[in-house]
Amino acid sequence: MTTLDPDPAAEDPVAAVDALVAEIAPVLRPPAVRRRDVVMVTGPWLAGVSAVAGVLAERLRQWPVVEAAELPPGEVPTAVVFVVSAAAALTESDCALLDAAAAHTDVVIGVVSKIDVHRQWREMQQTAREALADYAPRYRDVAWVGAAAAPERGEPRVDDLVAELAKQLGDSDVQRRNRLRSWEFQLRTDADRIDRDARAEGRRARVTLLQEQRDEVVRQRRMSKSERVIGLRSRIAQARVQLSYFARKRCASVRGELAEDAAGMTRRRLPQFEAYVRGRLEEVVADVDQGVSEHLADVAQELGLSGDAAATTSTPQFETGAPALSSRRLETQLMTLLGAGFGLGVALALSRLFANLAPGLTAAGAVACVVVGVAVTVWVVRIRGLLRDRAVLDRWVGEATAALRSALQELVALRVVAAESALTAELAERNETEAVRAADRIAGLDRELREHAAATARAAAVRDRQLPTLHRALAAVRSELGGSVRLDGGEAKLGPPRGPGGSVRLDGGEAKLGPPRGPGGSVRLDGGEAKLGTPHELGQLDPPNTARTAAD
């Protein structure tokens, strides 16, 4: 395979790595971090971070030593020293702390501190190494040393740490590997972000919530409308029954009162009785009208409607006529005849009594008997006339109350019908208003649902367009770093960057790769074989002949 001339950018390790990634994904921007030539010391609380940092600052004069809080945002160190205590096991949160500190740094050294007072520090070191390797595969080859930066007695024991730092910082491949680590973090972050946006778990939850809200709005709209209509019909039917019963009961009550008054009527009160009855009937009409108004107002208030439905209508008129008290001439004549006979009989009986008792007073007794007979005749005629008038008045009161009952039933029916019409119209307006409000709410929910659907489609399109390129670039970067790469169901097992090559098996094919700067290997994909040169040579070839082809 023909190899192109070396690119001048390959002389700069950072530029060479950027060119390698740009060859696969030209649209990607380089990591927006600034590399500082410092050593950052970090670790869990009470692990002895400050003590280790202080001792390293004294022993490494040529390298500034800082703690994590001293490094401004956007700046990353050249090396990371991760300090853990020999008295406490490494936890997942401690691993996450290291992962955040060394996201852009490949040079990581693990330190088990306080080895002067903890004899089991080697066991704790092995436990920490295993826990860190289980947390992330990149930490499998991290060098671990023991140290006592602030011993209770004697000098600090950090020689192994200083030697390991000097060894790794003196490697000429540090800049290149740190740049590769920055690219790995950025590519992995971008790929996770794009995949997360496409999966849209938060958006799906929001869409589910919006759909539930939409269904709830529709259900509430349907149920509230049905409940209000049913409630109105039920309350109107109850009002019709209750008001009709109230009117009948009121008529029966006034009928009993007037009948009692008619039974005790005297000649003196007879002329005022008709006016009295008419006044009482008008009072009953007013009472029933007021009761109907109040009841309908309560119904409207219970339904949440205005009280206009309880407005009074025209009171129905009813005719009672006058009692037939004057046209009784024949009856008067008959009663006069009967009274005269009764008085004559009384007079004859008294005359016989006086004649037997005092014969000398016969003439005077006859006169007295005549007077008594006339008086009895007049009394009988008047009493019979009064009783007849009472009977006439009682019958007239019955007719008047019957007419009143019919009028009140008509009043109740008219008022209830008017109230039902008014309340139904108002309820229809309210239903229309709520329907418009619900339609606006549903339209807003549908609009947001469409926006989420469009955003999901856009995110899926971005994923389908960009994620394969990011995966190819990430595979190339990881192949330069060394490790295990698994893409699209295949697995790539790579040796360390300066170690012997490994084998890559993708989609049933196998690729054998040499070291990054060693001799090229061979790639066998789908029954074919391709020869690969060194990574620098691969970075200089055309896209079909580069590591991107192997990643595909």
Average pLDDT of 172-181?
91
pTM for this model (two decimals): 0.55
Distances (CA, A) of 457 to 198, 208, 267, 394, 504: 8, 17, 102, 91, 34
Q: Average pLDDT of the chain?
A: 78
Indicate the range of 8-12, 199-203, 435-439, 538-542 predicted with least confidence.
538-542
In this prediction, residue 195 carries a pLDDT of: 86
CA distance 472 to 184: 11
CA distance 510 to 493: 10
Q: What is the DSSP string of 63-106?
A: S-EEEGGGSPTTEE-SEEEEEEETTS---HHHHHHHHHHTTT--
SS (H, E, C) 161-182: HHHHHHHHHCCCCHHHHHHHHH
- Percentage of the chain beyond pLDDT 70 is 76
Can you give the pLDDT at residue 502?
38
What does the alpha-carbon distance between residue 133 and residue 110 come to, in Å, rounded to a whole number?
A: 12
Residues listed for the chain: 552
pLDDT at position 362: 61
pLDDT in tens, 493-523: 333 333 333 333 333 333 333 333 333 333 3
- Give the mean pLDDT of 429-450: 92
| pLDDT over 70 at 257, yes or no | yes
What confidence category does residue 29 fall into, taking pLDDT thresholds of 50, 70 and 90?
confident
Domain boundaries, the chain: 14-199, 213-475
Out of 95-109, 155-169, 383-397, pick the least confident.
383-397
Rounded CA-CA distance 339/379 in Å is 8
Q: How confident is the model at residue 281 (pLDDT cuts 50, 70, 90)?
A: confident
Question: pLDDT by residue (tens digit) across 43-89?
Answer: 998 888 999 999 998 888 889 999 988 889 889 999 999 999 988 88
Q: Are the beta carbons of 122 and 89 closer than 8 angstroms?
A: no
pLDDT > 60? residue 533: no
Query: Would you state the CATH architecture of domain 14-199?
Result: 3-Layer(aba) Sandwich (3.40)
